[in-house]
Structure 1
Amino acid sequence: MLNQKSVMKKRKSSTATFVSGVWPLVQCVVVVGLLSAIALMSGCDDPHDHQDNPHARPQEGGRIVPRPDVPQDPKALSTIIIVPPLLNCANSVTVKGFVPGALVRIYSDGTKIAEKVGNDPEGETFQVSSPLATGKNITATQEFDGVESLPSVQEPVQDVNEVYPAGIPKPNFPFLYLYNCGIATYVNNLPPGGDLRVFEQASITDPKNLVGSVNGVAEGQSIGIHPSFKTDHLVSAESQICTDVATSDIQKVMPEPASLPDPTADPIYEAATFVACHSLVNGAKVTIERSGTTIAVFGAPASHVRVLGVTVSAGDVLDITQELCGVKSNTTHVTVQPCSALPPPVLIGPRAGDVVAQLSNVVAGSRVRIYSGTEEIADGGGSTIMYTRPLIDHETLIVIQSFGACISSGYQVVVGSGLQDPGVAGPCGRVKSWEYGHGGDPDRRTTDVSSYFSSPGFCVNVPMNAVPLHAVVRYPEGPGPFPLVIIVHGNHHANDPSYRGYDYLLEQLASQCMIGVSVEEDFLNLCDQNNVAGEMDARGIVLLRHLQLWREWNRTPGHPFYSKVDMNSVGLSGHSRGGEAIVVAALLNKTLHINTDPPVGPTSHNFDFGIKSLYAIAPVDGQFDHGAITLTNADYYVMHGSHDGDVYDFGGQRLYNRAYPVTNTTNHFKGFVFVHGANHGQWNTGWGTCCENTVGPSPLISAADQQQIGKTYMSAFFLAGLKGWKPYRHFLSGEASFASVPPGVTRITQYQDPEKIFVNHYQEDYDPTTGSLMGVENWRTGSFPNYLVYSFSDDDRPHFLWGETRGLIAGWNEERSMITMALKNGGGVDFKYLAMHVGQTHEDPTDLNTPGVDKDFSVQLEFEEGAGPEVAVSSYGTLSYPLITYYKMKSVQQTIRIPFEDLRISPQVKTADVRAIKIKFNRQSRGNIALDEVQFSN
């Protein structure tokens, strides 16, 4: 975890924003949402008896069942959720998770400041009677059928300057063109609760004219425009809260399109009141009719809009058209489906202790209820709702959704084992193929990377000022918008098309409702033994140029991918040199631009994409000319093989260690999986083997097994990061297992949750008595031949460590040996786990560890009331002896996550009540381990 520069190595072949807005033109409530078309996932009738890790809980998924015949319980009305942050001077509060049509009340320290019927549970913004004040606590309730819920969790009002110490952000028109005659648009990057104004001017020297305003906005806000936009006029947005004002970059209004795409809509069901429309042109006038009668007219503030209209009946036909400057689309006819067709929502991986439900397949505007047996434990709406109590392990839940008397079937899932397998075909099962930028593509684009790299291999005949933007694509059917994942290969022979080697990953991602793209960068690769060097920033820039293309296509009416891409949910994946290139791209996405590059045109740096997640496959580290990168702005995961004979130094572990230094706070998670028997090349179906004849005696796993592992981990990672489905992190951390992972393959995982507090991370100094949390005191008792804080960059004797962090080396030789970490407090916040990175070290010659024998020790917490249970680490993970290869030994630590409920002395105590952590070496008489990052975590 040290933020230090890594050694540069050159090798021959190292390869849900929720907003609402109302304006005079609109005859309905319009809410912008980024809606994924998610088909229902169904599980198996019988649980899998296969378990790839004895400490990982097998996941069974869920299945469709008849809806429960249980009377409705008015007391089960869910508490609603306040969307943070709340800022002083704010004129509004955004809430979600309520029953559509419920009466929502908002309170400041118990005084009511807002009361209004809520319509869209995905998120609705309510004006308050007086501006919020710093230090006040805001709560909210919902009332439905005469019953009022309990108050929400308190959300404190924060000072604007504390939330935005560098000033409030600039407003932004996110990835949208502004068109002539446009009567609406969408703006984000807003301080919640502030005010928004949109201005238009004929030229930069002309005065600005106010064409739209909203008081009390969400972070992203739809806004009506009057008079409408005019071609070539300049538009800017201005946000204000308190006295702080921020202005957007200027955007020029474009001429209206020559033709408009036909609108589309999600399936609409009997008794629904919402219509989810897609493929709308920003600013267009949209009309919805039923039997010749207009039921909604509005200005589309984006390409995907949720419209509240009248109640519909089965068999009704809705006619949807859009118009801009007299140019009309064709009419789309949507038939309302009967109640019998209404599917249930899918509850995503519920776990013991959860108080919030995450759901997919929720139909716009439906009411959602969740049952445990005959007990109703949630009643709300939208994709995030609160339970009325924490979940209990192994209980069976059934979730339904309804419109009035129209009720869906049920989706049944068992708490603790309800995740769908990410390594099999997902709910978007019909996958389509596309290729762009090939030699026969009439729209082929090139880009200039010569300012970054100008010395390709002798066999490359592509000029560096015109390299092709060429890729193959797999994508799901449906309107989207879908998250976008771009995969890039590493260094291989330039005449061998490496980009084709990830089709199996693209297919899997597309089946999981994401767009998968594999880009060609063969022109940056080697020729025979003639290595290429210094090209890493060019590799990253090419990725960003591809993202510029996708942004353009996504906002160009008439393009096949118009409005289908969620440019705020972008993932990058790279193999070998591509694994470092994705981190470079994430850096260049925000900074390190070359000043001589023009501000507009094909080499411009108008990047700032919503890159959320980075997945590195056996990456190199240290080949970027500007030095080692410390990642700070995306989720990060590494997949590496023990038998990697090319990038043998596990460079991804150094990237992992540097990401989010321990002194930084972050909203991102990180992790890695170290796969025994996997090599470098088999992650790509065209690379195979190269150097693994030197890495015995343990055998290579098969290419099929290696690629199946890759599919499952990559899919789970992007479901967790890009779709926000947090339960998949439990697989990435090693706590859950899936049948799709080949049995018998040892995998070592590390995982770091963004919600944590370190007790000891060993970065302060080399004194093992120094604690990381204020007031921590460390001491040892018993016999320790080895006991020191040590740099984990010792890639040879005595410990064979390959990271870029410091930790504790603890070697004991008698069973009464113990490490005590005394605490004055456990951080003041309640956490779910005690976690640590720990593992055996390889010894040559053997001393305290025995090859082939697992290590074990005990952990115990002490409280004021006394000692809690003593648990064995082996109950939560295996500390196996490092895999021996002839090439390079690696001592890799496993993250052990022990649920706090297994350690506490009574159900009432919290982690803040812990007074000591005791690591007792009382299960084996001798051993040597590397220990790091002892923490309380979620």
Structure 2
Amino acid sequence: MPIYEQEYLAPRKKRTRMLHWFKRRSTLTFARDGKTLGILLAMVVGSFFLASIAALSMPTGLGTFIDLLLFIVANALALFLLGVTVSWLLSLLYLPVPRALLSATIYNGALCYYMLDEASMGLTFSLIMTGVFLVTLLMIGLALNSMLYRSKFGYIAVPMSVAWVLFLLFFHPTIEQFESTSSFQANDYITPLAVGNPAEEGEYRVQSFTYGSGRDNHRDEFADEVQLLSRSIDASDYITTWKDWRTTFWGFDQTELPLNGRVWMPEGEGPFPLAMIVHGNHRMENFSDAGYAYLGELLASRGIAMVSIDENFLNFTNWTGIPGDNYRLRAWVMMHHLLQIKDFTASENNPFYNRIDLSRVAVMGHSRGGQAAAIVADYERFFEDDESLDGFETINVESVVAIAPTDVSIDDERPRLNDVNYLTIHGARDGDVNNFRGDRQYGRTSFTGSLDRLKSAVYIADANHSQFNTDWGRADMRLPGGMFLSRKQMMDPEEQREVAKVFISAFLEVTLHNNDQYQPLFMDIRHGEEWLPRTQYVTRYVDSTYERLVSFNRNNDVEEFPQGITASAEGFTEWDKTSTVDRGGNNKAADGVVMEWEDDMSYTLSLPESYVTDADSVEYFSFSMAQMDKELEAPYTGETDPSLELVFSLNDGGEVSISVDALQPIPPSIWTQYTRYPFLEDITRDGKYEEAIEPAFQTYFIPIMMLEEAEASVEDLESITWQFSDGPGRLVIDDIGFFREE
């Protein structure tokens, strides 16, 4: 054979041998997967389980059935293509392993980890749970395998896999300290209010209707069935990016945002005060605005018109993220709703005409909506140059209600309310906004004393975030994260909404209807013992009659105050000014004096001779106090039970001692177990749930009548001493002062 032919045929032979090798290796791709069918089947079923969870956690808006179908089909194709490809590549590497099984395992592990990581569960937690998931599939697969091939190993594998699955389903350990106590201790000075339960329906019949743009791709009540047409608004100044899928889903872009609202109106002439509520940031495909109907029906029956507005188009979705200057934007849309209602009230032939009193308005919100409501009440700080809001100054926002609000800085600014009534309620088991953010806004709310105003903060041991909205379910995280949250210590959804009804209705009775009979409820929740579910409540309160005695701001010395009052302490291991911090380690708004002691301690405020107060008008001496025992070393971390006696020393040398424990015992720290597995709290969501305790202030009221019963007067006070015992203890005190009769 000529040399040139040999040179030509040599590469062909090499190529032929190479092709033959590839063909032979390809036929051996699954050669080592014999008798692994049961395990492989478990892996396939596991992938379909993950695909179903993904479909439920990332809705497209096309419907649950279509979402499930799309994700399951996509999973089947991905599993097949990747499984075959990876198995073939493994065969080329001569790896002596069951290649299809290994490929399916890698696929499941990668998919599980991706879903957990995308849900912000944290690196370590995601790795651990991915491992648990794969071990579970392996154990189920071994049991199936033993049954398919009638292996004697089945006598062990089947019961082991059943026990493992039952363990995962029902293993839900709780630590005793996480259980809350009841706040309803007997007290001779606290009696039930001689007024009806504010959560019960009132005397008005309720008219329900909607207003909207008349165009909505998903809800007929804002489209063909809408009773009252509203305008659209251009949010281009606040939204720079609005993706095509969002336009396709909603049928509009940022230049034509609709004003959609659900209305509950008392039947009658009116005019009625108005309460407007806005939801927070849930999935945009899972509409949230109807979730406050329980409040709308209640308030309207009690003579307050309520509107729940639709801002779902501003919410997050996996497919396009979240639009614009989102926190400011929510308040801006809410203000346009109020302006639209203002126009309705002036226009004949609509249900609002002359029936709304815009001088008595409450703005309310949940989560991001709670911060939006506070921004609306302080709108000039955030919308000074926005001409689209002209005329809003004629709407008088009397009150703000914030349900588990956020408190995010916007251009280095947060709302500061002045002479506006403020109520915030928050659950200690809130797995979303897990810091008591409303407490910071409470601290930034001030009164001049020229108007009758109040502010109150209510911290509820067994409440979570989502159950205040009937559309949000019970979990504070979307799937798959919600699967790991504990529900054992959460109150029943109806009970949690009953708490909201009692406090919100009573608050609006006081601030919009001027019904002061409900005001004592916010000073001491035991006035409403018959109305509220049994759990632990920590409440804080100030009104416009409050006269501060000392201020613990950072400019003051710890021992001397500008008013001429001096402070001293004995028996302390620490005594200094401090700011309480939330679970994230962020300072709250107000400073206080922190005291730590081993056995007994006393803290005294000495009044100067020049101190004068009008004793005839003083009704209570008051202070707020929060447990700081989470900072103590074990075994006292969050576990102290201190006692307190208050001693009023008089100019004539006399003393009046009052047991604060007898009036209202110092509440223990509220421990929160967020997840099903408390031993993983430190790593879940990169440590978001690491801190089980957040300090919350309780306000204490000492009736001046107790001094008068001892034939003493406020005018005769020389000093006030807090005598702590049953240490060790660590507490912070703030808001020391007097409340006067209105």
TM-score normalized by structure 1?
A: 0.52
What is the CA–CA distance in structure 1 between the aligned matches of 2:301 and 2:345, rounded to whole Å? 20
Is 1:655 aligned to 2:446, yes or no? no
Amino acid aligned to 1:552:
D
CA contact (8 A) 2:641 2:727 kept: no
CA distance in 1, matches of 2:500, 2:331: 22
Superimposed CA distance per residue, residues 721-771 of structure 1 (whole angstroms, 9 cap, x where no aligned partner): 111122322112225433564432111100011112112230153632133
Mapping for residues 285-364 of structure 1, pairs under 5 Å: none
Q: Is the 8 A contact 1:423 1:740 kept in 2?
A: no
Q: Which residue of 2 aligns with 1:92?
A: none
Among candidates 402, 411, 427, match of residue 641 of structure 1: 427
Q: 1:576 aligns with which of 367, 375, 387?
A: 367
* TM-fit CA distance, 1:517: 0.7
Code of the residue aligned with 2:593 in structure 1: it is L
Structure (1/2) with the larger helix percentage: 2
CA shift in 2, pair 1:820/1:905, >3 Å: farther
Q: C-alpha distance in 1, partners of 2:287/2:637?
A: 45
Q: Does 1:856 align with 2:643?
A: yes
Equivalent in the alignment of 2:490: 700
CA deviation vs aligned residue, 1:12-32 (integer Å, no higher than 9, x gap): 99xxxxxxxxxxxxxxxxxxx
Structure 1 pair 867/452, CA: closer, same or farther in 2 (3 Å)?
farther
Cα deviation code 1:680-727 (max 9, x no counterpart): 111111112134766769711111111110111110111111111223
Q: After superposition, what is the alpha-carbon deviation per residue over 1:282-320, rounded to whole angstroms, capped at 9, x for unaligned? A: xxxxxxxxxxxxxxxxxxxxxxxxxxxxxxxxxxxxxxx
Confirm or deny: 8 A CA contact 1:832 1:901 kept in the other structure. yes
Match of 1:729 in 2: 519
Of the three residues 256, 261, 272, the one matched with 1:482 is: 272
Secondary structure in 2 matching 1:832: strand
Tell me which amino acid in the other structure corresponds to 2:569.
R
- Whether 2:414 is the aligned partner of 1:628: answer yes
Please tell me whether the aligned partners of residues 548 and 607 of structure 1 are also in contact (alpha carbons under 8 angstroms): no
Could you say which residue in structure 1 is the equivalent of 2:288? 498
Find the aligned partners of 2:527 and 2:244 in 1 and give their Cα distance. Answer: 47
Residue 435 in structure 1 maps to residue 210 in structure 2: yes
Amino acid at match of 1:460: R
Shift of 1:539: 1.1
What does residue 610 of structure 1 align with?
A: 396
Instruction: Tell whether the 8 Å contact from 1:476 to 1:515 is kept in structure 2 after alignment.
Output: yes
Q: Which residue number in structure 1 is paired with residue 706 of structure 2?
A: 902
Alpha-carbon spacing, 1:823–1:755, altered in 2? closer, same or farther (3 Å): farther
CA shift for structure 1 position 893 = 1.7
Q: Is structure 2 residue 448 aligned with structure 1 residue 680?
A: no
Q: Which residues of structure 2 form unaligned runs of 5+?
A: 1-117, 121-180, 213-221, 673-680, 682-688
Give 1:914's aligned residue.
717
Amino acid at match of 2:368: R
1:468 alignment partner in structure 2: 258
User: Secondary structure in 2 aligned to 1:813?
Assistant: strand
Letter in 2 for 1:929: L
- Partners of 2:419 and 2:453 within 8 A in 1: yes
- 8 A Cα contact 1:778 1:820, kept in partner: yes
| TM-align CA RMSD | 3.0
The aligned residue for residue 178 of structure 1 is: none
Match of residue 579, structure 2, among 771, 788, 791: 791
Tell me by how many angstroms 1:803 deviates.
2.1
Whether contact under 8 Å (1:778, 1:822) holds in the other structure is no
1:778 aligns with one of 552, 564, 567? 567
Task: Give the residue type in structure 2 aligned to 1:622.
Answer: V
Instruction: Report what 1:126 is aligned to.
Output: none
Q: CA deviation at 1:874?
A: 2.0
Give the counterpart letter for 2:613 in structure 1.
G
Q: 1:911–1:639: structure 2 CA closer, same or farther, 3 Å change rule?
A: same
1:621/1:751 CA distance change after superposition, 3 Å: same
Q: CA deviation at 1:853?
A: 5.0
Q: Superposed, which structure 2 residues align to 1:756-905 within 5 Å?
A: 756-765=546-555, 767-771=557-561, 774-781=563-570, 783-793=571-581, 795=583, 803-815=588-600, 817-824=602-609, 825-828=611-614, 830-844=617-631, 846=633, 849=636, 851-852=638-639, 854-885=641-672, 886=681, 887=689, 888=691, 889-904=693-708
Contact 1:842 1:890 in 2 (8 A): no
| 1:378-400 alpha-carbon deviations (Å, 9 max, x no partner) | xxxxxxxxxxxxxxx99xxxxxx
Note if 1:421 corresponds to 2:211. no
- The CA deviation at 1:593 is 3.5
Paired residues for 1:222-241 under 5 Å: none
Residue from 481, 490, 513 that aligns with 2:303? 513
Which residue of the partner structure matches residue 46 of structure 1?
none
- The Cα shift of 1:786 comes to 1.6
Aligned partners of 2:446, 2:471: CA distance in 1, in Å?
34
Tell me the TM-score normalised to structure 2 length.
0.65
Contact 2:202 2:298 in 1 (8 A): yes
Partner letter of residue 791 of structure 1?
S
Q: Whole-Å Cα distance in 2 between the matches of residues 646 and 520 of structure 1?
A: 21
Give the alignment partner of residue 543 of structure 2, picking from 753, 777, 798: 753
Change beyond 3 A, Cα 1:927–1:727: same
1:930 to 708, 717, 732: 732
CA contact (8 A) 2:631 2:637 kept: no
Provide the residue aligned with 2:13 in structure 1: none
Cα deviations by residue, 1:84-106 (Å, 9 ceiling, x for unpaired): xxxxxxxxxxxxxxxxxxxxxxx
* Higher deviation after alignment, 886-895 or 716-725: 886-895
Hey, what does 1:42 align to over in structure 2? none
SS at match of 1:518: strand
- Residue 578 (structure 1) shift: 0.4
